[in-house]
A and B are shown apart, each in its own frame.
Chain A
Amino acid sequence: MGSASMIVLIISAIIFAVGGILVSKLLFKKHNSVVKGEAYECGVPTIGKSWVQFNVGYYLFALIFLIFDVELVFLYPWAVVAKSVGWLALVEIIIFMFILFVGFLYAHKKGALKWM
C-alpha cells in the first residue's frame, strides 16, 4: 500500500459520487408539474396542513421504548456467552439493567409516562 493507491482510491471515490449525479442529470430531463410539488402521504391527498405538531407524549413513549428495546438487543449476545463467563456475567448484566432501571425511574418520576 503506497500513497499512490490512496490517491487512486480517493479520486475514484470522488468520480463515483460526482459521476452518478452527473449521469442522472444528463440522461433525464426534469419535468416539473403542479402535482409533483404537492404534499403526499401514503397515497392519500392530505387534509388540512401536514405541518402540525404532535403531542410530545408520543416522542417520550417512543424514547423510553427505544431504551428498553436496545437493552434487549444487548441481552441476546449476553445470553450466548453467559454460561461460559459464569457468575460474573450475571453480576454484570444486573448492574447493566440496574443502570437502565435508574433511567426508567427518573422518567417515571418526571411524569414522562403520564399521558398529557
Chain B
Amino acid sequence: MNALLVLSIAGLAALFSGFSHNKKLAVIVSLLGLAVAFTVNVLDWNTAVRYYNDMIFVDNYAIAFTGVMALTMLLIVALFVDYKESVEVPNAEIFALLFFSLAGGVMLVSYSNLLMLFLGIEILSIPLYILAGSKRHTLTSNEAAIKYFLLGAFASAFLLFGIVLIYGVTASFHIETIAAYIKNANGQPPALLVAGMFMLIGGLGFKISAAPFHFWTPDVYQGSPTIVTTFMSTVVKTAGIAAFYRLFAYAFPAITAEWIPTISVLAALTMTVGNVTAVFQSSVKRMLAYSGIAHAGYLLIAFVSISSNPASSVLYYLIAYAVSTVCAFAVLMVIQHTTGSEEVDGFKGLSKRSPFLAFITTVAFISLAGIPPTAGFFAKFYLFSGAVKAGHLWLTIIAVLNSCIAIYYYFRVITAVYSEGTDSTPVELGTVQKAVMIITAVLAVALGLFPEMIISLL
C-alpha cells in the first residue's frame, strides 16, 4: 500500500520537476521515486495487511507483481535518457502519466473489492490513452489514441456491467464474499452470476488483448511512440494478467467447470491468432504486438490449469516476458533511430555495424521464442507442465505447435541481423541505453539458469 502512496507522490513530483531548468531532473526524480517505491514495497513482504475498509489486500502476490512492474518501469524510464524519437510532450509529463498508470496497475494486482478492480483499470488506462497519442502531429499516433480510448471505454462498460450482475446476485463487491457465496451454491451458481463472470472475462480479456478482443492491439502498439509501446506490452500486460488471475484464483475457484472450457478456447484462439498473424508482419513493432497477443494466450493456459499452475509460474512467465520484451524494444528504438524504419530489413547487417547490438538482439528474441537456456524457455516449461498435470493435453499440444510457429518469425529477425546489409556505419549507443540492454540480456539468461529464485517466491 505504501508503494501506492509513493508512486502517486512521485508522479506529482515528476510532473512539477518539468518546470525546473534542469532537463535531467525529471528523469532523476522518476528513477528515485521508482527505487523508493520498490524498496517500500519489498519491506511489506510477508505482512498481508488489508487497507481502506478491506478494499485492498496487500499479500505476497500483490507485492511480487508490484515489484515486477516497478522494476520494469525503472528500466523503461532509464531508456528515456537516450531516447531520440520525437515525443512532442515534455518528458516530465510523460513520466507523471506513467507513474499514474503504474499506480492503477498496483491497485489492479492488490484489489480485494471489485470496485477497486474497476477503478484500477480506469486509472491504468486513462493515462495510457493520452500517452498513446503523445506524438501529437503524427496521424498514426492520433489514430492509436482514439482507437484505444473508444474500445477501452467499451470494454470498461462490459467490465462494469459484469460487476453489477455479480453484485446483483451476491450483494457484495468483495471477492472473498463472492467466493463464499459460490461455495454455498454447491456447484449450482445462478445464471446471472455466470453471465456476470463472462462479462468480466470480456472486459479483462480486452486489457490483456486476448482474441477475439485483440483487434486494437496492433494498431495501438504501432501508432504509439515506441517507448510507450514498451510500457504497454510489459507493465500493462503484467497488471492485466495479474488482475485476471487474482479474480479467478480468489473469487471463482469453486466453479471451474463453468469457465474452464471458455478460457481454454480463448487461450487456443489467442495463441493461434497471435502467432499466425505475426508470421506475415514485415514491421518488427507490429510483429511484437502480435507476439504480445500470443504470449497472453500462453498465459491463459495458467488459468485453465489453476490447480497445478500456481501464481509463481505466472509471475515467472511475466518476468521472463517483460525482460525480453524491454530488451527487444530497446534494440528496436536504436534501429528506428539509425535507419528510420521499423521493418525487419532495418536489422540487416547489424552484426557488422555493432556486434554488441547483434548479440543483444539474439538473446532477446531467443528468450521470446523460448529456447534454452533463456528464461523464456523455463517460463513456458513451467506453464505447459502445469497444464499437462491438470490434464489439458490438447491445449498443451496446441501451445507447443504455436511455439514452433513463433520460432519462425522470431528467427527471421535474428537471420536478418547476421545477413549482409547495405549500410555499414557503426551504431552509436548511449551509456544508459547500453546498461539497460546489458541488464535485461543478463537477466534473460540468469533467470533461465536459476528459475528457483522466482518460482520459490510465491
Give me the interface of A with B, judged by CB distance under 8 Å: 1-3, 5-6, 102, 106, 109
Contact B191 A2 (CB under 8 A): yes
Interface residues of B: mostly helix, strand, loop or mixed? helix
Task: State the CA gap A14–B191 with chains docked (Å).
Answer: 19
The yes or no answer to B450 lying at the interface (CB within 8 A) is no
Contact B195 A6 (CB under 8 A): yes
Contacts of A3 in B (CB 8 A): 191
Of all chain B residues, the one with the shortest Cβ separation from A109 is B19
Of all chain B residues, the one with the shortest Cβ separation from A7 is B191
Per-position 1/0 for B166-191, Cβ under 8 A of A:
00000000000000000000000011
Contact B191 A1 (CB under 8 A): yes
Closest CB in chain A relative to B248 CB, distance in Å: 22
The yes or no answer to B390 lying at the interface (CB within 8 A) is no
Contacts of A2 in B (CB 8 A): 191
Task: State the CA gap A2–B169 with chains docked (Å).
Answer: 12
Closest CB in chain A relative to B9 CB, distance in Å: 10
Closest CB in chain A relative to B8 CB, distance in Å: 9
Please name 11 further chain A to chain B contacts, defined as beta carbons within 8 Å, in addition to the given A6-B192, A106-B16, A109-B19, sorted by A numbering: A1-B190, A1-B191, A1-B192, A2-B191, A3-B191, A5-B191, A6-B191, A6-B195, A102-B12, A106-B15, A109-B16
Chain B residues numbered 191-219 whose CB sits less than 8 Å from any CB in chain A: 191-192, 195
* 6 residue pairs, one from A and one from B, having the closest CB atoms: A3-B191, A6-B191, A1-B190, A109-B19, A1-B192, A2-B191
Of all chain B residues, the one with the shortest Cβ separation from A106 is B15
Task: State the CA gap A100–B405 with chains docked (Å).
Answer: 51
Closest CB in chain A relative to B130 CB, distance in Å: 13
Closest CB in chain B relative to A65 CB, distance in Å: 20
Contacts of A6 in B (CB 8 A): 191-192, 195
Pick 7 A–B contacts, CB within 8 A, sort by A.
A1-B190, A1-B191, A1-B192, A2-B191, A6-B192, A6-B195, A109-B16
Contacts of B191 in A (CB 8 A): 1-3, 5-6
